[in-house]
A and B are shown apart, each in its own frame.
Chain A
Amino acid sequence: MSRKVIEVEGPKWVAQGIITTEQEQRLLALYPIDDKAIGLLPLLGSLLVLLSALSLIAANWQELPLLVRFGILLGSVAGSYVAGEYFRRRGNTQLGMGLVGLGLILFGTSIILTSQMFQLIGYDVTGLVAWGVAGVGLTYLYRSRLLFVMTVAIGGIVQGYNTEALGAFSYATAVFTALTLGYYWWRYPDALLGAVLATGLLWQAGLLIGVLHIKITWFFVAAMLIYTFGDWQADRPAGRALQGPPLVAAFLFVLGLAIFGEAGSYTDRLRPPLLAYLAALGVVLVLSLLGKKARGRLGSATDWLLLLPGFYLDAGLPLAVAALVVLYAYTGTLLWRAHQEQNPDRVTLGTVLFILTTAVAYFKLTWGFMDKSLFFLLGGILLLSLSWYLRRRAVQTTAPAAPPEKL
């Protein structure tokens, strides 16, 4: 309940004799006026002044003497951090953290602009790795989710620049971000941070695959390794969130196989040496299952259905059908587990994925030989009835147990 509700409804309640005027005042006192809104105008004002200064400096950057430019860079970095710490101590945490985050951005910008001032070319990313190190340090210092997310992004940017412009993968950056941010997430479990971290690490894994020119399916060994840490995490929501991005990637990949698998022109690129690939994936599977067992969540082992290496099958219809079977097995077990756990969110997710799979399967298997108007009509009816049935099941699952005589 918010203050606004009491302010609007309070007088009516008093008039109806539900509460007294004194009680209304006491209720209002429970919800003090939010002072954030008051701070908004000066904030916007200073933002505009800041932007004006920024555009002035940017327009004349090359004309300014070197020392002045350098002073501006150092001063803005130090100034942001000091201002951030100042506001934080005065209790204005959000503004404070925003300024600390600005300081971190300015630090990276300063490294780049200083190199540019001296026309300096680096052949490795030492300078930018320092940016990531600073981000990690600040994240631990402030225990801030904002800084954590920013550091994941910085790691991704540094790695992206490194592979794109310098043609090399920085293992230091990858290992450093994975270890430090991973340890942070492990110690202070958080769902949002888990999802962000997993996404950032998947991005770096993808870049590594690209640089090494190896079969893209190796990506899933890395992805499932990230997934496995979610199994061992004691905090269930945080672990599940970390597992989200790898599962999304695996699901999209199998969906892609189901849709385009017939073409076959690129299936060669998907096939690593069978034994090596299965061995690597098998090791990760065992680690994952051990984690699930230790935390009593063996039921979620069905996630691994998505990793069935159907792409070793001959390209063509068998591959597409195998991919569809995998998708049905996965979404079916997802729905079944969601009903068992009576988890409405996952019932919804399972429903959406199940309908999506059905749509793909229907499109795939009947598009070729059906009159198009009939195709769309039947497809529509199929999906509508399926969604009606799944929704009914969902309502039954999540509804509170009804008294027997009403059934």
Chain B
Amino acid sequence: MLVLPTPANRRLWLLLLVGAQLLFIVAVAAAGYATTAYGRTVQLRTAPVNPHDLLERDHLRLTYGITYLPLTLWQEANEPRRRQPVYVALRAQGDAYVAVRVYNQEPSALPPDQVILRGWVVGSSRRTLRLRYGLERYYAPENQVKVLNKKGPHALLVHVSIAPWGQARITKAEVL
């Protein structure tokens, strides 16, 4: 028999339930700080963006250099399937990281200069693989959006923290 709330201990149950929910929201925020504190930071270059394309009031829509990858990086037995989760190995090259291989399972061992960023398959053609990382929207205050949104086509450098437990977040974005 489960311990169900009775009229006698209702109040306690309510306090526990609401308290747990508030704590959980705090924990989500804590995970955000922890990801920055303990995570490994990688820099990703966005594709040159036309200001008109990314003009939104409170966020930027970003396309990364690693959004479209050559299909040769996919060396698995099965064809990539739409919406399938993938693990992209990144390596520093110059001021930004580039993709070196796309796995369908998390690789057990990885050279120390590589780091895994998770993503999903959007689609694939004969030569290219299109991925999504969940980092395609950058929310920022309006004045910051305006700075990043300066005139003329330009690329951005986006700093992403990847926590050892797998969460990731954008910490900074700057104009290249």
Contacts and interface: CB of A to CB of B under 8 A. Distances in A.
Contacts, number: 101
Interface string A104-118: 000100110011111
B138 A114 contact: no
A110 B25 contact: yes
Interface residues of B, number: 42
Query: Which of the listed residues B17, B28, B83, B167 has the most CB atoms from chain A within 10 Å of its own CB?
Result: B28
Contacts of B22: 74, 77-78
Contacts of B18: 77-78, 81, 103
Contacts of A77: 18, 21-22, 25
A355 interface: no
A160 B66 CA distance: 27
B167 A167 contact: no
Given A62-B140, A118-B169, A107 B2 contact: no
Given A110-B25, A122-B167, A167 B135 contact: no
Interface in B79-106: 83-85
Interface string A94-131: 00000000010001001100111111111100010010
A336 interface: no
Given A119-B170, A168-B85, A141 B14 contact: yes
A77 B142 CA distance: 27
Contact of A63 (B134, B141, B166): B141
B58 A62 contact: yes
A304 interface: no
B155 to A, nearest CB: 19
Given A120-B31, A141-B5, A62 B141 contact: yes
Nearest to A115: B28
Given A116-B139, A121-B168, A141-B14, A167 B120 contact: yes
A137 interface: yes
B123 interface: no
Interface in B23-78: 24-26, 28-29, 31-33, 35, 58-59
Contacts of B134: 121
B32 A167 contact: no
A140 B4 contact: yes
A122 B58 CA distance: 21
Given A120-B167, A121-B167, A123-B166, A62 B142 contact: yes
B141 A127 contact: no
A138 interface: yes
B31 A166 contact: no
Contacts of A73: 25
A14 B9 CA distance: 53
B25 A123 contact: no
A119 B17 contact: no
Contacts of B17: 134, 137-138, 141
Nearest to B13: A141
Contact of B14 (A74, A85, A118, A164): A85
Nearest to B166: A123
A326 B133 CA distance: 48
A328 B81 CA distance: 41
Contacts of A167: 83-85, 120-121
Nearest to B83: A167
B42 to A, nearest CB: 13
Nearest to A133: B20
A183 interface: yes
A266 interface: no
A63 B146 CA distance: 13
A61 interface: yes
A70 interface: yes
A404 B116 CA distance: 86
Nearest to A134: B21
B137 to A, nearest CB: 9
B169 A123 contact: no
Contacts of A85: 14
Contacts of A70: 29
Interface of B: 2, 4-5, 10, 13-14, 17-18, 20-22, 24-26, 28-29, 31-33, 35, 58-59, 83-85, 118, 120-121, 133-135, 138-142, 166-171
17 contacts: A62-B59, A62-B139, A81-B18, A85-B14, A107-B21, A111-B28, A114-B32, A118-B32, A118-B33, A119-B170, A121-B135, A121-B168, A123-B167, A134-B20, A137-B17, A167-B84, A167-B85
The 9 closest A-B pairs by CB, nearest first: A118-B32, A167-B83, A121-B134, A119-B170, A62-B58, A114-B28, A119-B169, A120-B169, A137-B17
Given A118-B169, A134-B21, 5 more contacts: A62-B140, A62-B142, A103-B18, A116-B139, A118-B28
